[in-house]
Amino acid sequence: MKIFILGGGTAGWLTALFLNKTYPSFKIELIESDEIGVLGAGESTTMPFFNMLNYIGIDHKEFRKETKSTCKSVVRFDNWHSNDGYFVSPMYPWNSKISAETYGGNTTEFFIYCLANGIDIKSKGYSKIALRNKSPFALIDGELNQIGSFTYQINAKLTAAYLRKIAISRGVIRHEGKVTKVNGRYPIESVEDNKGNTHTFDFVFDCSGFARLIIGKHYQTNWIDYSKHLTVDSAIPFFLDMDDKIPPYSQATAMDYGWMFKVPTQERYGSGYVFDSSKISAEDAKREVELKLGREVNLVNNFKFKAGIYENNWIDNCISLGLASGFLEPMSATNIGGMIFQLEFIRNNVKDFAYNNNHISEFNAYSKNISEGFLSLIFSHYLNPIRKNEFWDHYKDEDNYPKLLTQSTDNFLSNDRFDIYDFAQSINQNPNKMLTVFSAHSLYRKNAQIFCEIFNLNDKYKRIENLIDTETEKLLECAIDHREFLDKY
C-alpha cells in the first residue's frame, strides 16, 4: 500500500514516522513546500507527544540537542485566580518517588483532599521542584534518576526539520512542492503539484494545516463551530530573550481579552497573545503586551482562526489530522495531543490498515468526543473568579457553557455530589487535570469536603502530605538545574 501525506510540519512528519513504524511494509510519501514554512513562534506539548517519541524510536538526548527543546513538567497559569497569583497544572502521573501511591494513597484522592482543604497543589510534589527551575532529574548516589514526569517545549521549525531528517533516513520519500489540485472524490485518486507532477496513492493523510485542502476545501465537510464557547480568534506571536534560568514549564498569563503564552526553548521564548478580536484590535493587543512586559515586542505575524472542528475527519480514503481537522485554541497543547490520540486509535483498531465503514464511523465519533472533551477542559480554565469585563463575563454565563460540560456537571457534580471519576470520564479528561482547575478557581470545594468526610480521607492524606513534603525537600537538594541538565545531558 502507498500512503501519501499532504503537508510537513510537526503534524505531517510525526504522522509519517508513525506510519513508517506501524506499517513497515507500506510506502510512505510526503509533499511539503519550504516556501510555506512552519506556523508559530514555539509550541508546547503534552505527555502523548513524549510517549509518541518513545513509540517511533526517537533518542531523547539527540532530540533535545537538535531541536533546542526544553523539559516541560508543569504549566503555570498566572493571574487566573488571584491578582499576581498563579496556579499550576502538573504533568501526570507524578514520579513514583513523590506520588501519593508511594505511601499507600491515590493521587486523585490526594488532589480531592487538597481541593477540600484549600491546599495549593503547586507547593506539592515535583511541582514545587519545577518552579525552582530544576529539571525532572536528580543525581542520587551518583546516579541520574528521573524524579518527575515531563514532556517537551519545542521550537516548531527545528522539530519539524529533525523529524523530517529521521523520517527520510528511514525510507519516507519527500516531495518539494505545493498541492494545486485534488483529483477524485470517493476515493481520492491523486493530487497535482505546482511542479507539474501527479502523485497517486491508495490512501492520503491531510496534514495541510489551516489550508485544509481535502476534508475542508475538497469535500467541504460540515464545520462544527465552537466560537460561541471559545471566543478568542486571533494570535500575535513574538519572541522574547531567554533568562539566565530556563524554566521547565510553560506560562499562560491571563490578560484583559485573552491570555499570553510563554514557551521556553533553549535559546529563546516563543510567546504570543491569544485574544478576542471583537474586543481588542491587534494594535491594542500589542500595546497591552508591551505594558505588561515593560518592553517593546516585534511581532512574528498576526493570524486568525476560528474555534471548531470538522464533523468528519475520515472520509473514504482520506484522514485529516492536526490543524487540517480543526482547531480549538493554543491552550493545553490540545492540537498535537488530539492528533496523537487519533493515530493511536488507528494503530489499535485498524489492523494492517484493512479498514471498513465501521472503522470510519468509529474514528469520526472518537475524534469528535476527544475534541468536545478538550473544549470542556479549555472552557473550564476561563471560569476566572477575579476578572470582570465583557470578555471574561462571557464564560461566567452558563448559556455559553459547552453542552457536554453542562451535562456532565449536572450529572456528576450537582448539589452535594462529587463523582469526579465519572465526571472526568464523561468529558474524556484525566480527573487530576480537572481537579487542578477546580482548586485554582475554588470550584466544588464544599462537594470535595463532603467527599473527604464520607470516606475519612483527611487524616490519611494529611499523613501522606507530610511524607510527600519530606521527600520533596530531599529531592530538591539533589535535583539538577534545568539549564545545567540541558547542557550536560
| The pLDDT of residue 384 | 84
Q: What is the pLDDT of residue 85?
A: 84
Mean pLDDT estimate for the chain: 93
Res. 324: pLDDT tops 60: yes
Q: What distance in Å separates the CA atoms of residue 419 and residue 426, rounded to the nearest whole number?
A: 11
What is the rounded CA–CA span in Å between residue 154 and residue 135? Answer: 16
Q: What is the pLDDT of residues 108-145, one digit of tens each?
A: 999 999 999 999 888 888 899 999 999 999 999 889 99
* Among 273, 334, 279, 343, residue whose Cα is nearest residue 309: 334
Residues 422 and 425: their CA atoms lie apart, in Å, by 5
Instruction: Identify the pLDDT of residue 387.
Output: 85
Is residue 36 scored above 80 in pLDDT? no
Q: CATH assignment of 2-70+153-227+308-374?
A: 3.50.50.60
CATH architecture type of domain 234-304: 2-Layer Sandwich (3.30)
- The 3-state secondary structure of 246-276 reads CCCEEEEEEECCEEEEEEECCCEEEEEEEEC
Closest CA to 247 of 50, 478, 70: 70
Q: Domain map of the chain by residue range? A: 2-70+153-227+308-374, 92-151+378-477, 234-304
Q: Confidence class of residue 303 from pLDDT cuts 50, 70 and 90? A: confident
Question: What's the pLDDT score for residue 46?
Answer: 87
The per-residue pLDDT for range 60-77, each reduced to its tens digit, is 999 999 999 999 999 999
Contacts of 268 (CB under 8 A, 6+ apart): 239, 240, 241, 242
The DSSP line for 287-334 is HHHHHHHTS---BS--EE---EEES-SEETTEEE-GGGGEE--SGGGH
Q: What are the pLDDT digits (tens) for 349-372?
A: 998 888 999 999 999 999 999 999
pLDDT at 348: 95
